Amino acid sequence: MVADAPEVTDEEATALARFVSAGGRLLVSGDGAPAVLRYLPLRDMIWSSRAVDRSAPVAPTPEVEGVTTVRAGGPGSWRDAGATLAVLGTDEGVLATVFASERGRVVALADTSPWQNRLLGEADNAAFALAAAGEAGRPIHFAEAHHGFGAAEGLAALPGRWKWALAGAVLAAAAAMWARGRRFGPPEDPERAHPPPRRAYVDAIAGSLARSRQPAEAIRPLRASARRRLASRAGIPPDADDAAFWRAGTRLGLPDDEVASLLAPPDNDDEVMALGRVLARLEAMAR
């Protein structure tokens, strides 16, 4: 069985002719059938792209025994059957012909679709396929190299859609490898990343305070926190007067400049530093 053969070499066509002459049964279909049969006395057959949707037997041969209707789903009919006998067709055209040599037999189907899976269950297509194959128990050889796949090998034999899918898979794998590239590096950095030095943080805060041009407002939360800590440590109300805060600071042994920084907003950098020192002392006392 040779179906939809795009091209057949002279050597292959000669081998098929010898096969038929030796008593073989050849099933050939599609527009490539004339090329397959060119070394048999069938070279005058003319294929046409005219479709024949439904065909009925037109000659009583074993190939159409028990067949009433054969449905086709593609283009193809015989415009000129040559020396063959038309066995399936309509007024629109001939779908299948038969040629009998001295020992062998040829069934030529103009359109392969009746023997394809998608239409094999339609009408009497399956019965026609079995009858065309010959008597039961006869082995069938499919010429798969010409069954729509061509003679290509390796990657060239893959269908075009498969090649595009394979290319897409390769690109996806490359993208995944690039996205996960860090995993292919060392398991961890050579050195541990340290936080920036505390001095850098302090300098950044100082720059922000300087740009605000309102140092007293910026320091107010710091001064309020220091006063609350001193009041809690000395046991005085948080809203006590300055005299009470002065006595509490003196009693705790705080330097005068640091206690003074709690009583009024700082006016210069020295008073700001004093406020920072007294807050640090009070935090240390609370530990």
Residue identified by tokens 């300098």 is: 203
> What would the two tokens of residue 136 be?
């039961």
**71, β-bridge pairs:** 54
Considering the chain, tell me which residue range(s) the CATH 3.40.50.880 domain(s) occupy: 2-146
Q: Give me the percent of the chain exceeding a pLDDT of 90.
A: 14
How many helices (H) and strands (E) are present in the chain, helices listed first?
10, 9
pLDDT of residue 187: 63
pLDDT of residue 232: 87
8 Å CB contact between 125 and 112: no
Fold of 2-146: Rossmann fold (3.40.50)
On average, the pLDDT of the chain sits at 82
Residue identified by tokens 């041969």 is: 61
**Rg from Cα positions in the chain:** 49
pLDDT of residue 181: 64
Check whether 171 has a pLDDT greater than 80: yes
Cα-Cα-Cα-Cα dihedral sign, residues 67, 124, 57, 34: negative
Neighbours of 138 (CB within 10 A): 8
For the stretch 35-60, pLDDT in tens is 888 888 776 788 888 888 899 999 99
For residue 135, CA distances in Å to 30, 117, 120, 195, 271 come to 23, 21, 19, 89, 116
User: Rounded to two decimals, what is the model's pTM?
Assistant: 0.50
Residue identified by tokens 């060239």 is: 156
Q: How far is Cα 278 from Cα 261, in angstroms, rounded to an integer? A: 8
8 Å CB contact between 281 and 262: no
Of 169, 158, 180, 261, whose CA–CA distance to 216 is shortest? 261
For the stretch 204-228, pLDDT in tens is 777 776 776 666 677 788 888 888 8
**Which run of H or E residues covers position 275?**
helix 269-286
For the stretch 250-277, pLDDT in tens is 888 888 888 888 888 877 778 888 888 8
